[in-house]
Structure 1
Amino acid sequence: MNAIKCLIVENEKIVRESLAILLNMEEDIEVVGTSENGADALAFCERILPDIILMDVHMPVMDGVEATKLIKNRWPQIKVIMLTNHQDVEYVLAALGHGAEGYLLKAISPENLSGGIRLVLQGGTLIPQHVARDILREITDLRKQTEKAGNAYNLSDRELEILTLASKGLNNKEISQKLFLSHGTVKNYISNIYSKMEVRDRKEATSKALDEGIL
């Protein structure tokens, strides 16, 4: 059986080296390389395709979310697990929206880390329970905000959801990442909202929705 080829992408050298030592102790996992940022990871994948990448979130030059997006676009077969010190739901949603298979805190035990890698390689998705709860809570809160009365323009639930996010200042790209929709789909929803509300831009749509109690 061939060993699982793993690339570690981590900003901090000591963390990179520690993870490499721990994973190389596993009989079925081989660390084929390490990178200190997303741009280096892309360059590495041009030379050697790993089976899985452990991807830090916050890095200079190119962060883990952007790197995941680019890698998944070019090599969708590569599995990606995000690693971070922070329980940041926004980054989790963005990374999962770009195709990442999992999310782990760096403080995870070696046993759970290697077990998580094997799980993802077998087709599983890796999201810690507390992170999953935070994601569900955020989605629930967002949906509650879109269930207010006063929808005089016959906006769908999804259109209300997108209008709510737009009113918070999110652009189309950020909305698409948050709701796991394509950029083109979000753009079409925005156009439909403008048409139904008879407005020209999101500032006018937001103002009208607030004035009339839709948001």
Structure 2
Amino acid sequence: MSAKIRVLIADDQTLVRTGFRVILEAEGDIEVVAEAGTGTEAIRQARLARPDVILMDIRMPGLDGLAATEEILRHPDPPTVVVLTTFDQNEYVYRALHAGAAGFLLKDAPSSRLIAAVRAAATGDSLIEPSITRRLVERFAVPADPVAHPPELAALTERELDVLRLLARGLSNAEVAAELVVAETTVKTHVARILTKLGVRDRVQAVVVAYETGFVTRGT
């Protein structure tokens, strides 16, 4: 990653792109390297500008943000994609999880949340917003009785399973550390090992696995 976090903003509303650009470029460590108003243009700009993070709207004319995300993430060493959403797009956002999106941001989120989301995505520590991601996964995951040790999670240690349960509740690394009374660096190590063992890109994908295997269920 370059000295500054390189960001591509993909949204069909010019005012949204302009507003995000103004907010982000006021930060010394973030640079908006490109904009796109369609999914097709987002794919092209992702290839040309080589951003670290893409803020991707779902609903765009022509090729939508989901298809664009899937195409961008097929390539080696892809950027991190953070999906821009509203609460009326739940079905689309769940599909975005499977497409490989690393996080979600409400379009009307405060500027501090936008900045934090970009920085988290750039470091691979995409936070799972309890108000968005956990709600969506719980809503759309197949209901099942809890499974103590699903075969898909057999490689995880008991402590890693503890960490995964807390990630599924929407806790950040710092919150997981406080819950387990360990150092935050220890949690980061556990998260990295969980991702490697499950063969997933990020913590959001790990949470999807936790719900879909029945290890974590709605309301747990």
Please state how far the C-alpha of 1:123 moved relative to its aligned partner.
Answer: 1.3
What is the match of residue 113 of structure 1?
A: 114
Shift of 1:96: 1.3
Superposed CA RMSD in Å reads 2.4
Tell me the distance in 1 between the aligned counterparts of 2:30 and 2:118: 9
Q: Give the structure, 1 or 2, with the largest relative contact order (CA under 8 Å, sep 6 or more).
A: 2
Letter in 2 for 1:119: A
1:61 is matched with 62
User: How big is the shift at 1:75?
Assistant: 4.2
Q: Shift of residue 143 of structure 1?
A: 2.2
Distance, in Å, in 1 between the alignment partners of 2:39 and 2:127 is 21
Count of paired positions = 148
Measured in 2, the distance between the counterparts of 1:122 and 1:79 equals: 9
State the alpha-carbon separation in 2 of the partners of residues 137 and 86 from structure 1.
Answer: 13
Q: Give 1:12's aligned residue.
A: 13
Once the two structures are superposed, what CA deviation does each residue of 1:21-65 show, in whole Å capped at 9, x if it has no partner?
111001100000110011001111232210010000100011111
CA distance in 2, matches of 1:39, 1:25: 28
Structure 1 position 128, deviation (Å): 2.2
Give the residue type in structure 2 aligned to 1:59. Answer: M
Whole-Å Cα distance in 1 between the matches of residues 27 and 119 of structure 2? 11
| Counterpart-to-counterpart distance in 2, 1:108 and 1:126 | 14
Contact 2:85 2:93 in 1 (8 A): no
8 Å contact from structure 1 (residues 37, 62) kept in 2: yes
Q: 2:140 aligns with which of 138, 141, 149?
A: 138
What does the per-residue CA deviation read over 1:189-212, in whole Å, with 9 as the maximum and x for residues that have no partner?
xxxxxxxxxxxxxxxxxxxxxxxx
- Spell out the pairing of 1:1-215 with structure 2 (5 A cutoff): 2-131=3-132, 132-139=134-141, 142-143=142-143
Matched AA of 2:93: V
Q: In structure 2, what is the Cα distance between the partners aligned to 1:87 and 1:126? A: 21
TM-score with structure 2 length normalisation?
A: 0.61
Gaps of 5+ in 1: 148-179, 182-215
| Inter-CA distance 136–31: structure 2 relative to 1 (3 Å threshold) | same
- How many percent identity over aligned positions? 33
Q: Which amino acid is the alignment partner of residue 101 of structure 2?
A: A
Is contact 2:80–2:101 with CA below 8 Å preserved after alignment? Answer: yes
Which consecutive unaligned segments of at least 5 residues does structure 2 have?
146-207, 210-220
Task: Compute the TM-score of the two structures, normalised by the length of structure 1.
Answer: 0.63
C-alpha distance 98-138 of structure 1, shift in aligned 2 (>3 A): closer
